[in-house]
Amino acid sequence: MKALTAQHHTVCKQVVDLINQKQEKFNTQFEGFQDIQSQLSTSLLLCQSTRSKLSHANSLYTTSSLKILSTFRRRNVTLDLLKSLNSIKALLQTEQKLNQLLVEENYPSAITLILDCTQVTHTQGLKHFSCIAALSSKLSDTLVMTEEYLDEVLSKICIQFKSDVYSKLQVAYTLLGKSRVAVDQLLMHFTSTVHNTAFATTQQYADKKYLTGTKKQYGDLCKCIEESKVLPCLTTLCKSMWTILQNYYKVVKWHEKNTNISASDPNDFEVNLNKQYVHQKLQGGFTRLWNDVQGRVSILILSSTLSSFKLDDFLQVLAIVHKLTLIGEEFCSSDSMELHNSIKTQSSNYFTKYHTKCLDELRIFLENEAWTPCPVKNDFTILHLQEFRSLRHSIRNASRTLSSNASNDDSSVSGGTFYFSADSATSCPFDQPLHAAPLVEPEDILQDIPDDPSGYYSDDSDDGNSKHTGYESHIKQTSCLTNTSLSILRLCGKYLQMSKYLKLIASTVIYSLFQLFEYYLYVVYQFFSRDQTSGKIVSVTSLKLQSVLKRIKENLIHNHDSAAPINHSDRVALAEISVEVDLRNQDTLFGLTERVVAVESLVFLSTQFQLLHSYLKCLLSDQTNNTLHQFYTQTMSVVSDLRKPVYACVAWKSIDTQQILLMMSRVDWEVSDIIEKHSPYVDYIVQSLQVFINNVNTVREQSEVQFPSAVITVMWDNIITLVVRVLIEGFSCARKCSSGGRALMQLDWVQLSTKLSEMSQLKPPLPLQPLIDSYLKAYYMQESVLEEYLRSQFTEYSYRQLESLVLCSLVCQNDKKTRQRLLTQLEEQKSHDR
């Protein structure tokens, strides 16, 4: 314990020492401690005060704020719920709003509405509602129904294209992502519309008694249409087809305008691909749609019976089909062979029967023709006729068309006809298929005829009411036409309309047209040249005319005397002249007026055919036109030759050739001295011709027909030809002749030729004057020259005339050997010609 006590004291002492050493620092620290204690007391008071205040603030603000926050949270939840309920309500009302948009044709908004509603049903915020699944299914059904409605509206585009409606449809299909489906559906609708429209149209015109029972096919339905309803049915069908084609054209133009591929964004591959697909589909649809259209029309044409149609109705059919082919050519550059072949079959059958009927009617016209002029205007041409109204422009421009190798139809000659237009106001081209409009522009071809039928008024008169008398006061009618020739011109216009509308049978139609002219030519020749006289002395029918008449007879005239049966439908019996036409009355110069009207009407007819030459070349530009060349180089070239044989029937009857030959036989051709006075037969001929001139003037004054100068010229040509031939024949009758007699012959001819020149006013040489001059001069020829003359002139003179020349010639009168040798030469030439 002592040790411990000692140690305790030691330790305490050390502790006290240490305390003493640290007392000052202790005091300092103690003071700091007291400060801290004081500060802690202050802090404690502050904390207590703060807590008191915080508690008060908590009671005042925090509880209220939390209540506000809680209320705000409940409000947001309620708003979300209300929004969801409104969305559900909108979904429930979608169908009603959708129907309203569809009625307003606001298809893009309708599709947008459905798509938005569909998207709403797939959001996370509404999936927990049990009604959303049902609404989603209903929206799917609504979308399907809306697409069907859009498809129905799309099908109406085929009947009536509306740009605004179609634009909305395209936007709607684009929103649906079905642009390709839309164009496929559209093409299908156009095809079905063509078939349905064709069926509905034919069913409308079909005979109701054939519609009972099972539903008929389109071809069978076409056969049930009565003949009288075929034309209106065809017109209605073509109008309907035109509407469909025009609407398709407008659809394509809409796409070209609104979906330009070249202007698209090259980076948008999907859009460009869709546009290219639509473009290719629409371009390919042109040909397919046109084939459907021409197929429906072709079936109607082939199923119909058109054989008993009137020509105007049949031309109406041809005009409609022709216009339809032009539409097809513009629509898709199609040659429309199916349509051409169908109408060609019908046209060939129809035209064969119609042409046979026309030839027979032409024969009846000619048998009842009075050969009086039809009073047409002075400047009348075929272009004034109603039948040529639709051809005027083509005929007038035929020369220009030939030079440019263009087609001569409505689509080229007239400067181009464009049927398709994006303008909805474009009229239907089938409203007036034929160009002629008789009600709007009546035919005006007749001359103005006064109330008094005894005379005519001159178109050149200052006073339209003044009456003229005498030959010079008659109308100077440059257009000589008969009723028959006018009928031929009208038929010509109808034939050309047919060949214009259907060029596949143009060659057949034009050949038949030529037959009408050739038959008229042949009948005029047969009617007015059969009563020729002096046929043994002279013939004025040219070899070319004889060849043409022979060809016409072999190819066109029905030969009743032939034992072989005639199977050609284009043959016609020869007409008989009307008993009312008197060609034997000397007072009328054997029907001179009728002959002039007949021949000059034929000449005028030929001039009108000349106007058609270039146009006919255009029609046959792609075909063999041997018939055309033959007609214009042979038949047309001999028309003026017909004047000689016809007018010779009048002119030759003014001279009694037998009396002249008798008087010439009484002349002494063996006189030894030269006689200064001509023979009596010369005066007889002159007197006969003077009487003839007076008779012609009388007939001209009494006639209402102007005699062209060619009529008088040809008659004088015939008279002089006959006189020359009669003189040569009379001179050849002299078996003996002296130099004085030959001089008398020349004197007679000189005197007569002088009188003939004065009366006929023909400039020398007169017709056949070289022939008689050489015959008279041959009397003085030497042996060698006479021998060559006989050899070269054998065809110009008869054997007896040349024989008389040998017997009377100066060189043979005293040389029997020469005479016999020359006669032997003539015999050999005669045998050789046989």
| Same structural domain, 230 and 247 | yes
| Same structural domain, 219 and 320 | yes
Residue that is last in its domain, among 107, 139, 156: 156
Total domain count, the chain: 6
**The predicted structure's pLDDT at residue 460:** 35
Whether residue 254 is contained in a domain is answered as yes
| Same structural domain, 574 and 554 | yes
**The predicted structure's pLDDT at residue 636:** 93
**The predicted structure's pLDDT at residue 424:** 46
- Among the listed residues 251, 249, 97, 248, the one whose alpha carbon sits nearest the alpha carbon of residue 165: 251
| Same structural domain, 357 and 493 | yes
396 in helix, strand or coil? helix
Contacts of 639 (CB under 8 A, 6+ apart): 521, 602, 603, 606
Are 594 and 484 in contact by the 8 Å Cβ rule? The answer is no
| Same structural domain, 40 and 100 | no
What pTM value is reported for the model? 0.72
Are 676 and 751 in contact by the 8 Å Cβ rule? The answer is no
446 in helix, strand or coil? strand
**The predicted structure's pLDDT at residue 76:** 83
Are 390 and 601 in contact by the 8 Å Cβ rule? The answer is no
**The predicted structure's pLDDT at residue 547:** 93
| Same structural domain, 58 and 114 | no
Which phi and psi (to 5°) does residue 104 adopt?
-80, 0
| Same structural domain, 634 and 750 | no
Q: Which residue has the tokens 């020149």?
A: 757
Whether residue 440 is contained in a domain is answered as no
Which phi and psi (to 5°) does residue 595 adopt?
-65, -40
pLDDT averaged over 10-residue windows placed end to end, the chain, 834 residues: 90 86 85 91 92 83 80 82 66 61 70 64 53 59 75 88 86 83 91 93 83 78 88 92 91 84 58 85 92 93 85 85 89 88 86 90 93 86 86 78 48 48 63 50 58 34 34 47 92 87 82 93 91 68 91 86 50 90 88 92 93 87 74 92 90 88 90 84 93 91 85 91 91 86 91 91 86 89 88 86 86 82 86 70
Residues paired with 225 in a beta bridge: 206
Domain containing residue 513: 342-402+480-531+542-560+568-641
| Same structural domain, 674 and 620 | no
Whether residue 351 is contained in a domain is answered as yes
Whole-angstrom distance, CA of residue 778 vs CA of residue 829: 19
Are 428 and 238 in contact by the 8 Å Cβ rule? The answer is no
Instruction: Return the structure tokens found at 295.
Output: 């197929």
Whether residue 762 is contained in a domain is answered as yes
Whether residue 383 is contained in a domain is answered as yes
- Among the listed residues 290, 293, 300, 289, the one whose alpha carbon sits nearest the alpha carbon of residue 204: 300
Angle at 322 between CA 320 and CA 328, to 5 degrees: 105
Specify the amino acid at residue 22. Answer: K
477 in helix, strand or coil? coil
Are 255 and 278 in contact by the 8 Å Cβ rule? The answer is yes
Angle at 111 between CA 107 and CA 114, to 5 degrees: 140
Are 275 and 259 in contact by the 8 Å Cβ rule? The answer is yes
| Same structural domain, 608 and 745 | no
Whether residue 669 is contained in a domain is answered as yes
Are 375 and 450 in contact by the 8 Å Cβ rule? The answer is no
Angle at 109 between CA 105 and CA 110, to 5 degrees: 70
Whether residue 732 is contained in a domain is answered as yes
Distance of CA 411 to the CA centre of its chain: 7
| Same structural domain, 182 and 300 | yes
> Nearest 10 degrees: CA dihedral of 82, 87, 93, 95?
-170
Which phi and psi (to 5°) does residue 225 adopt?
-85, 130
Whether residue 536 is contained in a domain is answered as no
| Same structural domain, 236 and 362 | no
Specify the amino acid at residue 174. Answer: T
Residue that is last in its domain, among 769, 791, 812: 769
| Same structural domain, 786 and 736 | no
Residue that is last in its domain, among 319, 335, 351: 335
